[in-house]
A and B are shown apart, each in its own frame.
Chain A
Amino acid sequence: MVRFIIRRLLASIPVLLLVSMITFGLLWLVPGDPASIFLDASATAEALDRVRRELGLDRPFLVRMGEWYLRLLQGDLGTSLLLNRSVTEAILERLPITLSLTAMAFVLAVLLGVAAGVLAAMRHGRAADQGLMSLALLGLSLPEFWLGLVLIWLVAVLVPIFPAGDYVAFAKDPWQWARHLALPTFSLACIQMGFVARMTRSSMLEVLSQDFIRTARAKGLPEPYVVLRHGLVNAMVPIVTVMGIMVGALLGGAVVTEQVFSIPGLGRLIIGAVLSRDFPVIQGGLLFLALIYLTVNLVVDLLYAVIDPRVRLG
């Protein structure tokens, strides 16, 4: 197991390097002068010079890259052009909000998705199966930000139980925090819920058709026990493998959902930076999201190796 962990950690080094290079290279994609794109046409020569210096554009490419990596190793992502503060600080301040939204949507998507998938597999070919699968397909065809807006409208007009937008910190009032995050969590979870339901169903159908299930039934085990203990546990393996990808998709969706519900998380920071061309914040945000994704995938791979010995020995 230790050897597997070391091998897996070593394998992630080249990917980390490439991720940081892509992030760094983003500034290089800017057509023309990034400083004059950040400032508008009326900017003075001094202001342009100052921004160029801040972005390091007055120095040669390789020197700039070297400096970037040196600072990166110290956890320094530079200074925001717009907010005039450390990018790392600004991100860390908002990260918990985005992570809690992502985590709640993840839990909701897995719980409801797996439940729907199991139910559909047990009622294979019947009305419940078709209904649930149509719902799952609908869920994964919905634009999540639009669903958020429609929920805001429905809730504002019909059932004003949940507040439509804004955010209350957990430390301040846990009940209000949960109420404020309920709608964003649901609209964010919808797409992934659809995917999980479909995957669970097909995986369950495959497992349930195998011999050991027939044996379990023949032994006279109660049906719920057969389906859950023998069926679901085995059917979950392919779902565990895509959990890392799910977290990536949810993180991306959270950025957009925050925009719809006015939640002051990492997403609003990044999109604010995107709209004002605040390049250090865009780069920092991208790098952070990629790091979270890679970490989650590392954990998933290790989990997988714990579940399935063939992985760590192979």
Chain B
Amino acid sequence: MTNRASFFRRLLSNRSFTIGAALVGLVLLLALLAGYIAPFDPLKGNFRARMMAPNPQHWMGTDQFGRDILSRVLHGARISLQIGFMVALITAASGVLIGATSGYFRRLDGPIMRLMDAFMAFPSIILAIAISSVLGASVVNVVIALSIAATPHTARIVRASVMVVREMEFVEAARALGAGHTRILLRHILANAMAPLMVRMTYVFAVAILNEAVLSFIGVGPPPPAPTFGAIIANGRDFIVAAPWITVAPGLAILLSVLGLNLLGDGLRDVLDPRMSVNTR
């Protein structure tokens, strides 16, 4: 218990973590409350308010249909964060399954890792674009595509820490006490491989938000009229000189979310895994 308390104390005194947590908390709150705080309907146009620059009524201006950009960005945050969160969860699950199997059972290690190498040979964003286009554009398929693209690296990280923990004496002790593979893996090895996994999950979350924006921008994301970050930017692209606010606002929202998650990940890494720390102070 004291261990846990000191862990939280160290987290809270880490500047990266606190700033990151505050940013992510803010973005999450805004996204969750989008339905209540968005001043306008994100999908409904208004012919009298087309292409308006930011003003007291429309804080982030309006697009060519007179849709309120702030409302679209708020609702977009909800979709993008949901996708990012799902991708982080699914990637963690598949990464643990594949990485732990590969790291624990030596015979399976070679074949599984060659397969992961093969998946990593494709630039992950291109793999995601191809899978999403082949499966057809939908929120679920975007989550599947991004998870497949992020899994191999995660599996490698889990495998590496499993291989280290596997050789430790307490694992041997557990085996001597008659614990089976499943119990050893779940109770002893994975519990000790959680730290790098949690750090990885925050980065996967961040990259998923970036990549979902790319998918939507290209046109293989969630189908319109869903106001995802990437879709709003893609729409603003044609008016980049006449109405830059359409493009700038959602981009800043992405930047804020990703920056927050990256800071959170940096802080977690500093506290959970001091050897990996960039800070040698």
A-B interaction: yes
A residues bordering B, Cβ < 8 Å?
14-15, 18-19, 21-22, 26-27, 29-31, 37, 124-125, 137-138, 140-143, 145-147, 149-150, 152-153, 156-157, 198, 201-202, 205-206, 209, 248-249, 251-253, 255-256, 259-260, 270-271, 274-275, 277, 279, 282, 285-286, 289-290, 293-294
- Chain A residues contacting B258 (CB-CB under 8 Å) are 141-143
- Chain B residues contacting A149 (CB-CB under 8 Å) are 233, 236-237, 240, 247, 251
Do A140 and B254 touch across chains, with their CB atoms under 8 A apart?
Answer: no
Question: How many Å lie between the Cα of A274 and that of B129 in the bound state?
Answer: 8
Q: How many whole Å from B238's CB to the nearest CB in chain A?
A: 11
> Which of A138, A157, A270 lies in contact with B241, CB distance below 8 A?
A157
Asked, given contacts A153-B240, A255-B125, whether A31 binds B247 with beta carbons under 8 Å apart, the answer is no
Q: How many whole Å from A285's CB to the nearest CB in chain B?
A: 8
Q: How many whole Å from B40's CB to the nearest CB in chain A?
A: 23
Residue B191 at the A interface, CB < 8 A?
A: no
Q: Which 3 A-B pairs have the closest CB atoms?
A: A252-B123, A18-B118, A146-B251
Residue B133 at the A interface, CB < 8 A?
A: yes
Asked, given contacts A141-B255, A146-B247, A146-B254, whether A29 binds B118 with beta carbons under 8 Å apart, the answer is no
Q: How many whole Å from A259's CB to the nearest CB in chain B?
A: 7
Do B126 and A198 touch across chains, with their CB atoms under 8 A apart?
Answer: no
Within 96-154 of B, Cβ neighbours of A (below 8 Å) are at: 114-115, 117-127, 129-131, 133-136
Residue B54 at the A interface, CB < 8 A?
A: no
Question: How many Å lie between the Cα of A256 and that of B124 in the bound state?
Answer: 12
Please, could you name 6 A-B residue pairs with CB atoms under 8 Å apart, sorted by A?
A146-B251, A153-B244, A252-B124, A282-B133, A285-B126, A289-B122
**In the complex, which residue of chain B has the Cβ closest to the Cβ of A267?**
B126
Question: How many Å lie between the Cα of A124 and that of B279 in the bound state?
Answer: 10
Which of B30-38, B60-68, B171-179, B217-225 lies at the binding interface?
A: B217-225
Which of B41-49, B82-90, B181-189, B206-214 lies at the binding interface?
A: B206-214
Asked, given contacts A125-B281, A143-B254, A146-B213, whether A290 binds B241 with beta carbons under 8 Å apart, the answer is no
Within 230-270 of B, Cβ neighbours of A (below 8 Å) are at: 233, 236-237, 240-241, 244, 247-248, 250-251, 254-255, 258-259, 262-263, 266
> Which of A147, A251, A274 lies in contact with B218, CB distance below 8 A?
A274
Do A143 and B220 touch across chains, with their CB atoms under 8 A apart?
Answer: no
Does more than half of chain B's interface fall in helix, strand or loop, or is it mixed?
helix
Asked, given contacts A140-B262, A141-B259, A286-B122, whether A274 binds B220 with beta carbons under 8 Å apart, the answer is yes
Residue B55 at the A interface, CB < 8 A?
A: no
> Which of A150, A202, A205, A256 lies in contact with B214, CB distance below 8 A?
A256
Residue B2 at the A interface, CB < 8 A?
A: no
Do A198 and B278 touch across chains, with their CB atoms under 8 A apart?
Answer: yes
Question: How many Å lie between the Cα of A101 and that of B69 in the bound state?
Answer: 33
Question: How many Å lie between the Cα of A142 and that of B121 in the bound state?
Answer: 24
> Which of A30, A202, A293 lies in contact with B122, CB distance below 8 A?
A293
Do B134 and A146 touch across chains, with their CB atoms under 8 A apart?
Answer: no
Do B129 and A248 touch across chains, with their CB atoms under 8 A apart?
Answer: no
Residue B280 at the A interface, CB < 8 A?
A: yes
Do A289 and B206 touch across chains, with their CB atoms under 8 A apart?
Answer: no
Do A18 and B115 touch across chains, with their CB atoms under 8 A apart?
Answer: yes
Do B123 and A289 touch across chains, with their CB atoms under 8 A apart?
Answer: yes
Question: How many Å lie between the Cα of A97 and that of B135 in the bound state?
Answer: 29
Do B219 and A286 touch across chains, with their CB atoms under 8 A apart?
Answer: no
**In the complex, which residue of chain A has the Cβ closest to the Cβ of B209?**
A143
Asked, given contacts A143-B255, A201-B278, whether A30 binds B134 with beta carbons under 8 Å apart, the answer is yes
- Chain B residues contacting A142 (CB-CB under 8 Å) are 255, 258
> Which of B214, B241, B280 lies in contact with A143, CB distance below 8 A?
B214
Do A274 and B130 touch across chains, with their CB atoms under 8 A apart?
Answer: yes
> Which of B124, B130, B280 lies in contact with A209, CB distance below 8 A?
B280
- Chain A residues contacting B248 (CB-CB under 8 Å) are 150, 153
Q: How many whole Å from A149's CB to the nearest CB in chain B?
A: 5
Q: How many whole Å from A177's CB to the nearest CB in chain B?
A: 24
Do B213 and A143 touch across chains, with their CB atoms under 8 A apart?
Answer: yes
**In the complex, which residue of chain B has the Cβ closest to the Cβ of A14?**
B114
- Chain A residues contacting B136 (CB-CB under 8 Å) are 31, 37
Do B255 and A255 touch across chains, with their CB atoms under 8 A apart?
Answer: no
Question: How many Å lie between the Cα of A22 and that of B218 in the bound state?
Answer: 23
Do A270 and B126 touch across chains, with their CB atoms under 8 A apart?
Answer: yes
- Chain A residues contacting B131 (CB-CB under 8 Å) are 26, 29
Most buried by A among B133, B219, B263: B133
Do B127 and A286 touch across chains, with their CB atoms under 8 A apart?
Answer: yes
Q: How many whole Å from B236's CB to the nearest CB in chain A?
A: 8
Question: How many Å lie between the Cα of A15 and that of B115 in the bound state?
Answer: 7
Question: How many Å lie between the Cα of A270 and that of B135 in the bound state?
Answer: 16
Q: How many whole Å from B265's CB to the nearest CB in chain A?
A: 11
Question: How many Å lie between the Cα of A152 and that of B114 in the bound state?
Answer: 42
Question: How many Å lie between the Cα of A285 and that of B121 in the bound state?
Answer: 13
> Which of B118, B127, B213, B218 lies in contact with A259, CB distance below 8 A?
B218
- A-B contacts besides A137-B263, A143-B251, A259-B217, 16 pairs, CB < 8 Å: A18-B117, A18-B118, A30-B134, A31-B135, A31-B136, A37-B136, A141-B259, A145-B213, A152-B240, A249-B123, A249-B124, A255-B125, A255-B129, A270-B129, A274-B218, A294-B121
Do A293 and B123 touch across chains, with their CB atoms under 8 A apart?
Answer: yes
**In the complex, which residue of chain A has the Cβ closest to the Cβ of B149?**
A252
Question: How many Å lie between the Cα of A273 and that of B124 in the bound state?
Answer: 18
- Chain A residues contacting B244 (CB-CB under 8 Å) are 150, 153
Do B121 and A15 touch across chains, with their CB atoms under 8 A apart?
Answer: yes
Do A153 and B122 touch across chains, with their CB atoms under 8 A apart?
Answer: no
